[in-house]
Structure 1
Amino acid sequence: MKQISAFVLLTLALLAAPYARAQLLSGPANQSGGSQRLDRIVAVVEDGIVLQSELDQAVAQVKQQYASDPQKLPPDNVLRRQVLERLVLMRLQVQRAEQNGVHVSDQEVSQAAQNVARQNHMSIDQLRQAIQSQGMSFGAFQRQLADQIMVQRLRQGVVHDQVQVTDAEINNLLNSPAFKAGEVHLAHIQISIPSGASAQQIQQAAAKAKQAEQAIHGGMDFNAAAIRYSDAQDALDGGDLGWRRLDALPPAFTDVVKKMHGGEVTPPMRGPNAFHILKLIARRQPERKMITEYHARQIMIQPSALLTDAQAKAKAEKIYHQIVDKHADFAKLAKKDSDDDTTANIGGDMGWFPVDAWGTAVAVKLKSLNDNQVSQPFHTQGGWHILQRLGTRKADRTDEVQRQQARAAITNRKAEQAYEDFLRNLRSTSYVHILVPSLREPSDSDKASS
């Protein structure tokens, strides 16, 4: 049987199932007496709970992801605390999304499941079997998909309300040396400092960051150290940040990273809300963005209340034969007959454009034509088209692309910081009680005893 990707299962395993109830779940029968072991609540999260079975399932999925490299995982007690913290944070986000009126329809969940199946090269039935074969009901899987969609929308709402990018910011970034410095592939370890942290909590975070640094210098793989020590959302993926433009980094890190060599690791760096350790994996220089542009013209015949689709097709075929067989002037026929308001008055001229600018159907047809060749009528949502390819050229779109990249870099940087601040505040102001002592972080011990 096909296996669903471990990454997808890991992502889903870290989502909360708000409909779970302890009294409805039970463990497998024991071998001696056949009685069932009742599930237990391991954490109370506002008006919700996290069950032992949820935690066990999420931990199992993390272990599955690292089955071929288990030495990267921390000791089991540390891993369970880390996974529980992520389950708690996910539960809080789902609750906040619900409070904000975020809803997800059954159709949206069904589409999301189809997307997961397609990404894993499965049919929906194969996905269902794969999920069930790994101990999860398909209904639970769908609820977790719904939670994921809700959290994505919560993030979009937070970011939309707080992140604005001005032309002045884009211009400043384009003119900065950092923008021209290319891209870097980074991994990181983040040791967060709670909102309103006491001196003791700051010292604990600093000590944990120092432990991570010492472990790395002692030979621990950086990804393994990230899994063990980091509390960032990407910790269980080894802290990999992927490729990022240098200018997309927080300004405090830019000067440090610019001076780093491949494989180098920074000492812990104190930020406003966390200690950070960075590793530079690689860097690459920016390239010119050259694309192929097409020059074409078209005639479009659009069905209407007075012209059926069949009649529109027949009219387009008649025009096509006038052009090809009788050598009628394309531009004159476009002015006379085309229903495309944007091109008809200029003889159907579409100008120079990237191949996909006019949609997939036009792009496919353009690629099949030679210069000056006229296509037979073909159908799109707009109507029936006759297309003539006039030429191609290579165009340098570097400036345009760089401006888009600059806007995206500023947006992403602001969005990450805004949502990180939101999550930190959400966690610190919410009621969370860990019921199992071994699952509490050291900083939680005072809270638990109070």
Structure 2
Amino acid sequence: MKKLLATLLLASALAAPGVQAQLMPTEPLDGIVAVLDEDVILKSQLDRAVAAVEYQYRSNPQQLPPRDVLQRQVLDRLILLKLQVGRADQTGVKMSDAEVDQTIQQIARQNNLDTAQLRQAVQQQGLSWEGFRNNVREETVVQRLRQRVVQSRVQVSDTEIELLLKNGGIQRGQVHLGHIQITLPDGATADQIHEAQAKAEDVVRQINEGMDFTAAAIRYSDAQNALEGGDLGWRGFDEIPPAFVEASESLQPGQTSAPIRGPNGFHIIRVVEKREAAQQFVTEFHARHILVKATEVVSADEARAKVDALRARAVAGEDFGKLAREGSEDGPTANIGGDMGWFQKNAYGTSVAQVIDTLADNEISQPFQTDIGWHLLQRLGTRTQDRTADAERDQARQTLGARKADEEYENFLRQVRSEAYIEIRLPGGDRGTGSSAGG
């Protein structure tokens, strides 16, 4: 979450033109640096965004590329953000002011701040609080758009999971990677491929001669996370392309790969750290349960009184299962003597988890209340189970889903760019449509 805060601070200048106009000095005419569909990006927006990046790297300015290169990188990022926000708006993906407030409060808490302190931190960087709020909204809307696109396009079948497990396709463990991408245009010519490869090889040479990888990513990478230094964070080995896995297996932490050819260009990865996965053991509980519901007819006090009476009979020696069949109103368990089977602690919510953790085997709890009524719980036993196989199956599902999600959303972004009219008005910028947004 701290990394998210840094990203939001860095990008908070990417706000609507009306917001940015309040941040920039008054000018006779604010130039246009890009036109996309019916929207525009103003020079003041781009200047503010570039200034935010420069402020973020003020202690290491040597990591930044020349200003004209940085301008184009920031503009590409701003274009892609606006295209996604526009598509989200067209498809009804929105975020209310109340949801923005809740998200900002969560960001503040995760960074050990209150909202007032977060606002002060934003303003100390010379940024607009309204711009920051707008960026929180846009970043969250883009996340929701991605979730909607992925959910509509990505499905993982049991057959695919079985095949992945059968073929030994699950590799346990995680790797922390840095990433640089040198993108090729669709339908790249042999000359363009040769030029991109030569550029990637030159980047690797500079890194091997001492250039900081983060600085190289900021300067040369075409990936969406270039301005964050190409940091991919921790990823499972099955969440990264097979070519990355193969390269990372032969690298030690701190080492950088040779250029890796991929479908959309050349990639350079750096292994920051590796960690092995251990067997996964979980504690499970076996319990029985009685519920008396509070309704419009039965008050909470009356439900409590009934539960008290049932507990007194159980403590006096009556069978808990018989009492559950007689008095419990929990449909799934009442007819089987309140038996909840074996379950992990949080399977039935925090109230049950808190109570069952305090009980000894065969002990009956005191009555406790939830939003549906009053409860009794009898803990029957505990056991430790090896859930490594289940975890591997879950990992296989997540791996296949993540692979498909990345591919499908990249295809979606390519489609969005190709359908958009984009005209770059920076000096030396492309003029035209579609792929001029980069990536």
TM-score w.r.t. length of structure 1: 0.87
CA contact (8 A) 2:13 2:20 kept: no
CA–CA distance in structure 1, aligned partners of residues 19 and 377 of structure 2: 64
Letter aligned with residue 28 of structure 1: P
Q: Residue 186 of structure 2 aligns with which residue? A: 195
| Structure 1 SS opposite 2:357 | helix
Q: Residue 159 of structure 1 aligns with which residue? A: 150
Residue 25 of structure 2: which of 24, 28, 42 is its match?
28
CA contact (8 A) 2:49 2:74 kept: yes
Q: Residue 236 of structure 1 aligns with which residue? A: 227
Point out where structure 2 has 5 or more consecutive residues left out of the alignment: none
Residue 344 of structure 2: which of 342, 354, 358 is its match?
354
- CA deviations on 1:309-365 (whole Å, 9 max, x unpaired) are 1111121122222323x2332221111111111221222121111100010111111
CA–CA distance in structure 2, aligned partners of residues 421 and 14 of structure 1: 24
For 1:63-212, list aligned pairs within 5 A. 63-180=54-171, 182-212=173-203
| Structure 2 SS opposite 1:149 | helix
- CA deviations on 1:101-125 (whole Å, 9 max, x unpaired) are 3232233222222222222223333
CA contact (8 A) 1:378 1:384 kept: yes
When residues 61 and 16 of structure 1 are mapped into structure 2, their CA distance, relative to the original with a 3 A threshold, is closer
CA contact (8 A) 1:195 1:428 kept: no
- CA deviations on 1:62-86 (whole Å, 9 max, x unpaired) are 3444344444333333323222211
Point out where structure 1 has 5 or more consecutive residues left out of the alignment: 30-35
RMSD over aligned Cα atoms: 2.9
| Structure 2 SS opposite 1:28 | coil
CA contact (8 A) 1:323 1:330 kept: yes
Cα drift, residue 163 of structure 1: 1.6
CA contact (8 A) 2:13 2:48 kept: no
| Structure 2 SS opposite 1:346 | coil
For 1:37-48, list aligned pairs within 5 A. 39-48=30-39
Q: Residue 405 of structure 1 aligns with which residue? A: 395
CA–CA distance in structure 2, aligned partners of residues 59 and 5 of structure 1: 21
CA contact (8 A) 2:176 2:235 kept: yes
When residues 43 and 396 of structure 1 are mapped into structure 2, their CA distance, relative to the original with a 3 A threshold, is same
CA–CA distance in structure 1, aligned partners of residues 320 and 19 of structure 2: 73
CA–CA distance in structure 2, aligned partners of residues 26 and 316 of structure 1: 63
Runs of 4+ aligned residues of structure 1 deviating over 6 Å after TM superposition are 441-444
Q: Residue 14 of structure 1 aligns with which residue? A: 11
Count of matched residue pairs: 435
Q: Residue 52 of structure 1 aligns with which residue? A: 43
Letter aligned with residue 297 of structure 1: R
CA–CA distance in structure 1, aligned partners of residues 109 and 68 of structure 2: 35
| Structure 1 SS opposite 2:139 | helix
Q: Residue 221 of structure 1 aligns with which residue? A: 212
Comparing 393-402 with 247-256, which one deviates more in the overlay? 247-256
Cα drift, residue 56 of structure 1: 3.2
| Structure 2 SS opposite 1:427 | helix
Q: Residue 345 of structure 1 aligns with which residue? A: 335
1:329 and 2:323 equivalent? no
CA–CA distance in structure 2, aligned partners of residues 220 and 184 of structure 1: 22
When residues 128 and 223 of structure 1 are mapped into structure 2, their CA distance, relative to the original with a 3 A threshold, is closer
CA–CA distance in structure 1, aligned partners of residues 132 and 161 of structure 2: 41
When residues 118 and 414 of structure 1 are mapped into structure 2, their CA distance, relative to the original with a 3 A threshold, is same
TM-score w.r.t. length of structure 2: 0.89
Q: Residue 294 of structure 1 aligns with which residue? A: 285
Letter aligned with residue 323 of structure 1: A
Residue 370 of structure 1: which of 351, 354, 360 is its match?
360
Cα drift, residue 203 of structure 1: 4.0
Cα drift, residue 294 of structure 1: 1.2
CA contact (8 A) 2:46 2:71 kept: yes
| Structure 2 SS opposite 1:304 | coil
